[in-house]
Amino acid sequence: MNTRGQRLDLVASTQHDVQLEPDHQRIADLGFRVAREAVRWPVIEREPGRFDLSTVLALVASARKADVQLVWTLCHYGWPDDVDVFDRSFVARFASFCDAVARALRDEGETAPIITPVNEISFLAWAAADAGFIWPRARRRGDELKRILVRAHIAAVDAFREVLPDSRVAIVEPLIHVLAPRDRRDLEPNAARHNRAQYDTADLITGRGEPELGGGPRYLDLVGLNFYHDNQWDWPGGAGARLRWEDEPRDPRWRPLHLLLRDARERYARPIFIAETSHFGSGRARWLREVASEVRLARAWGIELEGLCLYPIVDRPDWEDGHWHNSGLWDIAPEPDGTLRRVMNEDYAAALRDAQALLG
């Protein structure tokens, strides 16, 4: 839900649910072989304990038809209306849902799915329980929520592997770089602490921190990293704090992506992939070309990435209003009958082809 209490469903608002097969075929035609898809818990479990898995079955069938492998996100910022994420029943309720999804995938012949139990645990905990702009819009409960979501992740993995023992588990977390303002060296410890905190989720899940939560190495196989133009900023953040990627010359404190990837690979000690990246408007092509060049540099340093995922692939509306961001490989053109026609952004598509040629 957004700050106005409106439940969001970007799958429906972009008509991905009714254009599923052509959407999957479009990306396959451009050489994509893997896609991230969200399993919509609020849609599947509208009544407690009753699961309508037709949307999951449709995803499986469509992806197979296009020969696209899916990486499944089981909770992407949302849960059913009757669920209280702070209630002690939340973890068991989520595990029950994950069990139902796992059984549906098994019955469709899936044997070794890649799952992300909870998308961006660290960001969700901050946004929903410190900053208060995602439901339940709490304050000063971020650390509490982070630990609840970690226990939910662990329970989800156990539920999935009970049904599908060869399931692989990925987390998806922001890749950030936080600095002290130039004239505030006294804030350097705060910035350093914030940088270290980006690894909290992995540490808790793997049992490196607070083992009483039940974590261990088996609960994490892959690490997905989300990187956008506003992932580097002066602590404590706020208006005007971000390092402006678009400026020329660029702020010399901007840390190149290949160095951030090196740091992440060393710290996480797991295979990594870029799970989300993109820009908007006319900056889309330039951003992708730079990201591809940085990935090439990372490879030259011996840092292998399992993949690079563009998000969104189809443009999306803002969480708070009807503004479309013009951030997809396909923009949206409403037709008189209400259909949201996909219109490829040719500059972005050219940058994609260049990136594919550069990276192989």
Instruction: Read off the CATH number of the domain in which 151 is found.
Output: 3.20.20.80
Are 273 and 308 contacting, i.e. CB atoms less than 8 angstroms apart? yes
Residue range 210-220: average pLDDT?
99
Are 169 and 115 contacting, i.e. CB atoms less than 8 angstroms apart? yes
Report how many domains make up the chain. Answer: 1
What is the pTM assigned to this prediction? 0.97
**b/e for 168-205, b at 16 or more Cβ within 10 A?**
bbbbbbbbbbbbbeeeeeebeeebeebeebbbbbbbbb
Write down the pLDDT at residue 252: 97
Asked if residue 26 belongs to a domain, the reply is yes
Residue range 81-109: average pLDDT?
98
Write down the pLDDT at residue 253: 97
Asked if residue 243 belongs to a domain, the reply is no
pLDDT at residue 41 tops 90: yes
Q: What gap in Å lies between CA 73 and CA 75, rounded to an integer?
A: 6
Residue 299's pLDDT band (cuts 50, 70, 90): very high
Asked if residue 317 belongs to a domain, the reply is no
Residue 134's pLDDT band (cuts 50, 70, 90): very high
Residue 1's pLDDT band (cuts 50, 70, 90): confident
Write down the pLDDT at residue 339: 99
Which residues touch 275 (CB under 8 Å, ≥6 apart)?
36, 170, 172, 224, 225, 226, 309, 311
Share of the chain above pLDDT 90, in %: 97
Asked if residue 295 belongs to a domain, the reply is no
Q: What gap in Å lies between CA 74 and CA 97, rounded to an integer?
A: 9
Are 206 and 220 contacting, i.e. CB atoms less than 8 angstroms apart? yes
Residue range 66-94: average pLDDT?
98
pLDDT at residue 322 tops 90: no
Q: What gap in Å lies between CA 161 and CA 282, rounded to an integer?
A: 44
pLDDT digits (tens, 9 = 90+) for 252-265: 999 999 999 999 99
Residue range 173-177: average pLDDT?
99
pLDDT digits (tens, 9 = 90+) for 257-287: 999 999 999 999 999 999 999 999 999 999 9
Residue range 325-339: average pLDDT?
98
Helix, strand, coil content of the chain in percent (nearest 5): 40, 15, 40
Asked if residue 223 belongs to a domain, the reply is no
Residue range 81-103: average pLDDT?
98
Asked if residue 113 belongs to a domain, the reply is yes
pLDDT at residue 4 tops 90: no
Asked if residue 191 belongs to a domain, the reply is no
Asked if residue 190 belongs to a domain, the reply is no
pLDDT at residue 305 tops 90: yes
Q: What is the residue-averaged pLDDT of the chain? A: 97
Write down the pLDDT at residue 6: 86
Backbone angles phi, psi at 36, to 5 degrees: -90, 135
Q: What is the DSSP string of 246-305?
A: T-SSPPTTPPPHHHHHHHHHHHH-S-EEEEE----TTHHHHHHHHHHHHHHHHHHTT--E
Q: Which domain holds residue 167?
A: 1-171
Share of the chain above pLDDT 70, in %: 100
Write down the pLDDT at residue 2: 84
> Strand 340-344 and strand 330-334: pairing?
antiparallel
pLDDT at residue 176 tops 90: yes
